[in-house]
């Protein structure tokens, strides 16, 4: 078991609400839709980039999601015809994944060595949490089938938002993101383990807009007033934040709309300049 797993329950990373929520319950419907789209888009990438697709009940490609959270992504992948496996750093999310989606997760952030015939491994905003990313890469060849896929998505510390105001940027989270790596560092490490990048992307429906929004309000209205902790607390429990800091909270919520043209423009600029808010890499054995 990874040594860091205890952190994610001791500091209430996930709410003990039976759903392992990280944000306000009012956002659960939106997050459900975004996770469905994420799984759908990933299944299409597996088909297009790797020729991996379900082929009846006897040929369900096996997908491992490292740091699977509440298990929704794997639930959708199962509905799309894949055999799901996953890990989590939290007993709270482990129980929620089983209760809500029927997904069994290992309580660990390690790659389970018992899985010897995987078609794909995913790291959705988890690679930056790992204490030993090099060790994870070393394990890929031992569990992946020939032609298998690895997908890594992380907050892009070289993005426009990160440079605009890192202290407020929702991709920062220095308490949990213990090994922020640049594109070059991840690619170089992957190449040492015999993996090459087959596709690179920089946009996420789930993360790009809120990442840029948080950085922009920090830059415009003060990184102390809109630090990472304060911005995230607003997303997690806006009612409680409203009682503690009404003006700051109202402005933060309203700015999602009134700053929309600027946020969208900065996101487009980031994509065109190669500095999108996320970094998503699709890797394949050389």
pLDDT in tens, the chain (286 residues): 344 556 787 677 888 777 788 888 899 999 999 999 999 999 999 999 999 999 866 689 999 999 999 999 999 999 999 999 999 999 999 999 999 999 999 999 999 989 889 999 999 999 999 999 999 999 999 999 999 999 999 999 999 999 999 999 999 999 999 999 999 999 999 999 999 999 999 999 999 999 999 999 999 999 999 999 999 999 999 999 999 999 999 999 999 999 999 999 999 999 999 999 999 999 999 8
- Position 5 scores a pLDDT of 54
* Residue 64 structure tokens: 């491992």
Q: What percent of the chain has pLDDT over 70?
A: 96
- Position 3 scores a pLDDT of 46
- Position 6 scores a pLDDT of 65
- CA distances to 19, 71, 111, 155 from 96, rounded to whole Å, are 5, 8, 21, 25
Measured CA to CA, the distance from residue 183 to residue 169 in angstroms comes to: 18
Instruction: Tell me the pLDDT tens digit for each residue of 76-135.
Output: 999 999 999 999 999 999 999 999 999 999 999 999 989 889 999 999 999 999 999 999
- Position 13 scores a pLDDT of 83
Question: Residue 256, CB half-sphere, CA atoms under 13 Å: how many?
Answer: 13
Domains and CATH numbers, the chain: 3-155 (3.40.50.150)
Instruction: Give the helix/strand (H/E) hosting 197.
Output: strand 195-201
Measured CA to CA, the distance from residue 37 to residue 42 in angstroms comes to: 8
- Alpha helix stretches (DSSP H) within the chain: 7-10, 28-50, 72-79, 91-96, 133-143, 160-164, 183-192, 208-221, 228-236, 238-244, 246-258, 260-272
223 in Cβ contact with 215 (< 8 Å): no
């Amino acid at each position: 078991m990874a040594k860091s797993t205890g952190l994610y329950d001791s500091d209430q990373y996930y709410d003990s609400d039976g759903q392992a929520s990280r944000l306000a319950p009012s956002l659960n419907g939106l997050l459900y839709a975004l996770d469905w789209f994420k799984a759908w888009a990933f299944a299409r990438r597996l088909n297009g980039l790797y020729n991996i697709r379900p082929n009846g009940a006897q040929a369900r490609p096996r997908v491992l999601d490292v740091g699977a959270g509440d298990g929704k992504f794997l639930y959708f992948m199962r509905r799309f015809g894949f055999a799901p496996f996953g890990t989590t750093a939290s007993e709270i999310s482990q129980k929620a994944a089983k209760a809500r989606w029927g997904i069994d997760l290992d309580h660990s952030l390690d790659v389970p060595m018992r899985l010897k015939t995987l078609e794909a491994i995913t790291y959705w905003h988890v690679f930056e949490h790992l204490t030993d990313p090099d060790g994870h890469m070393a394990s890929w060849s031992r569990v992946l089938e020939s032609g298998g896929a690895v997908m890594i998505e992380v907050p892009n510390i070289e993005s426009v938002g990160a440079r605009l105001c890192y202290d407020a940027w929702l991709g920062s989270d220095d308490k949990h993101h213990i090994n922020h790596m640049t594109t070059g560092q991840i690619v170089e490490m992957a190449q040492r383990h015999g993996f090459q990048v087959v596709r690179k992307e920089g946009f996420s429906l789930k993360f790009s807009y809120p990442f840029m929004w948080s950085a922009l309000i920090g830059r415009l209205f003060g990184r102390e007033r809109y630090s990472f902790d304060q911005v995230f607390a607003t997303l997690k429990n806006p009612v409680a934040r409203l009682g503690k800091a009404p003006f700051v909270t109202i402005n933060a919520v309203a700015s999602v709309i009134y700053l929309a043209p600027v946020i969208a423009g900065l996101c487009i600029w980031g994509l065109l300049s190669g500095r999108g808010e996320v970094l998503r890499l699709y890797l394949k054995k050389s």
